[in-house]
Amino acid sequence: MIKSVLWLFYTIFVFSSSTQAEDFFLTSGSARLRALAMGSAYNSVEDDFSAGFYNPGAFKLNATQNERRFRLFFNPLAAAVALNDFSNYNTDYNEDDKLTLGEALLSVSLFIKGMVYTTPVLDMGLGLGEEMIEGNTLLDRSERIFSVEGLIKNSFHSAFINLKVAPSVSLGISGTLYSSWLKGGNSFEGGYAFGVLLMPNPKMNVGIVYNEIPEKFSGARMELECLENGAVTSGISYHPDDKTVFSLDLRGVNLEDQPTARQIHTGLERRFGERITLRAGYFRKKDTRDDVFSFGIGVLPVWEKISRFSHSTRNDLVSYTLIMEDTDFEKHWHAVSMLLRF
């Protein structure tokens, strides 16, 4: 089974790389790869801290309501790639051949991806260093595939709180800091989101989210996630069994003539065995009529079976996501991530 799954995704990767397309790479590690592989139809899907970037009401560390737990998330891939980058470039990405102390400390700081703390009433989390996905800022295949340039130049960080109002109702709020690095100087602006997650029965979730994104960074979540300022997104997910998730989001419920008004996103995830998860997603951009297809594979860590993780929501150890846009697949995004949890 595992060999067949890996061969399938190798075939997809080779096919996507051999066609006439512009390729972009997000290879410094992201907590959002599961969501991106599911067409960003993620506003009703519970997750450990990745959900906080979509619906803070769905952010959930533990599957039970009676635990107190503190956990850290680490991204060794970003730190290693940054050390390699800064051995050849400075922080403005002009070529040099030395690694300064400041660059080394910046690289090490990328190792910490986030932290979460849960109680019977509240879940609190902090997610660090998520790259903005904008096609014109990403690296072309002819350049460096593994690089933190996009992450250093355009990123955002979020803090989120989830209040468990009742066993079937969670409310959440998140604050997001958007940052842009231009010629040695940083520009910062903040945004926020309100979210609610309803669980009308054990197999179904319903999510509603309102996003406030600063005007200067209005395109930060538009390229593949289609999240825009002032928009309300609704979502529903269905779990026919403990290995399968179907999800559907409706963007811009409160909008009329905006680019994402009434735009539908769909996603599917299925786990095979105990370690391999396959994902797929689809949506059509309302303004351009471009079709966007996504595929993903996740490898779950062995330690999820250890007692202190046995009642936790899941996270991938390693993820790969391929996103193909337009009917002729003129744009391809390749994303790789590694995430450790302790």
Work out the mean pLDDT of the chain and round it to a whole number: 86
Query: Rounded mean pLDDT of 233-255?
Result: 95
The angle formed by the CA atoms of residues 280, 285 and 291, to the nearest 5 degrees, is 50
> Higher-confidence residue: 239 or 308?
239
- The closest alpha carbon to 324, from 285, 292, 284, belongs to 292
Q: Are 170 and 120 in contact (CB under 8 A)?
A: no
Q: What confidence score (pLDDT) does residue 332 get?
A: 87
**pLDDT tens for each residue of 51-105:** 999 999 998 876 555 678 888 999 999 999 999 999 988 888 888 888 999 999 9
pLDDT given at position 177: 96
For residue 64, what pLDDT is reported? 59
Predicted TM-score (pTM) of the model is: 0.90
Q: What is the DSSP letter of 89?
A: B
Q: Which of 301, 45, 21, 8 is nearest to 141 (CA)?
A: 21
State mean pLDDT over 258-287: 93
Mean pLDDT to the nearest integer, 328-337: 82
Cα within 13 Å of Cα(94), Cβ side: 4
The whole-number pLDDT of residue 5 equals 47
Please tell me the chain's helix, strand, coil percentages from 3-state DSSP, rounded to the nearest 5. Answer: 20, 45, 35
Q: Is the pLDDT of residue 8 over 80?
A: no
